[in-house]
């Protein structure tokens, strides 16, 4: 009876692995490889606009695109959202902004984290639309979007090169 009332629970470890592979193709693959080399690549569309992040196919004509353009690591915030309480695995462990950054020479904006003072801080480097920013590269780069650790405000608001840590 006691066996029924207090059954010994058998257990065994079971680790199910379900890996995913991403074949990135010639354009996104080049973009990611560029990040590893500290180069941000955009691509020229059929209407002459430079798209960054680059698109494999033209959003207007559907043509295959292949004219990659190296962009500087500086740009302008076009819009943003403040993140007061970062969650685990987000790019920064202190309050930061999610920002759309239009890199200099590009016509579209890239979403990434921005390490800047909060909007109501009165700090001239505080997050705002129009803020001039630069890429902060990650120390270890693997060919992923996280090779950009985040963006950070340019100290003098000009177009000079971004910092590196």
Residue 18 interacts with another protein (CB under 8 A)?
Answer: yes
- CB neighbour list of residue 42: distance below 8 Å, 6 or more residues apart: 50, 51, 52, 53, 54, 68, 69, 71, 103, 105, 106
Residue 7 interacts with another protein (CB under 8 A)?
Answer: no
Among positions 20, 85, 130, 158, the unique one binding another protein when judged by CB under 8 A: 20
43, β-bridge pairs: 51, 68
Among positions 9, 10, 12, 16, the unique one binding another protein when judged by CB under 8 A: 16
Among positions 62, 89, 94, 140, the unique one binding another protein when judged by CB under 8 A: 62
Three-class SS state of 134: strand
Residue 157 interacts with another protein (CB under 8 A)?
Answer: no
| CA dist list (Å): 154 to 29, 63, 73, 123, 129 | 29, 36, 11, 13, 14
> Of the two residues 30 and 126, which places its CB atom closer to another protein in the complex?
30
CB burial of residue 45 (10 Å; 0-12, 13-18, 19+): buried
Q: Each residue of 64-88: b (16+ CB within 10 Å) or e?
A: ebeebeebbbbbbbeebeebeeeee
Residue 11 interacts with another protein (CB under 8 A)?
Answer: no
Residue 60 interacts with another protein (CB under 8 A)?
Answer: yes
**36-55 residues near another protein, rule: CB under 8 A:** 55
> Of the two residues 1 and 60, which places its CB atom closer to another protein in the complex?
60
> Of the two residues 28 and 39, which places its CB atom closer to another protein in the complex?
28
Residue 5 interacts with another protein (CB under 8 A)?
Answer: no
Residue 25 interacts with another protein (CB under 8 A)?
Answer: yes
How many residues bind another protein (CB under 8 A)? The answer is 20
Residues at the contact surface with another protein, assessed by CB under 8 A: 16, 18-26, 28, 55-62, 64
């Amino acid at each position: 009876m006691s066996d029924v009332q207090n059954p010994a629970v058998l257990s065994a470890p079971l680790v199910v692995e379900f890996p995913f592979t991403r074949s990135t193709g010639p354009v996104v693959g080049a973009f990611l490889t560029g990040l590893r080399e500290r180069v941000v690549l955009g691509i020229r569309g059929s209407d002459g606009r430079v798209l960054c992040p680059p698109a494999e196919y033209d959003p207007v004509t559907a043509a295959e695109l292949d004219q990659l353009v190296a962009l500087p690591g500086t740009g302008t915030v076009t819009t943003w959202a403040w993140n007061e309480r970062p969650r685990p695995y987000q790019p920064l462990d202190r309050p930061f902004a999610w920002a759309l950054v239009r890199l200099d020479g590009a016509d579209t904006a890239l979403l990434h984290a921005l390490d800047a003072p909060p909007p109501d801080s009165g700090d001239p480097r505080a997050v705002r639309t129009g803020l001039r920013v630069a890429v902060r590269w990650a120390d270890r780069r693997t060919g992923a979007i996280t090779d950009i650790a985040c963006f950070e405000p340019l100290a003098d608001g000009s177009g000079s090169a971004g910092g590196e840590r």
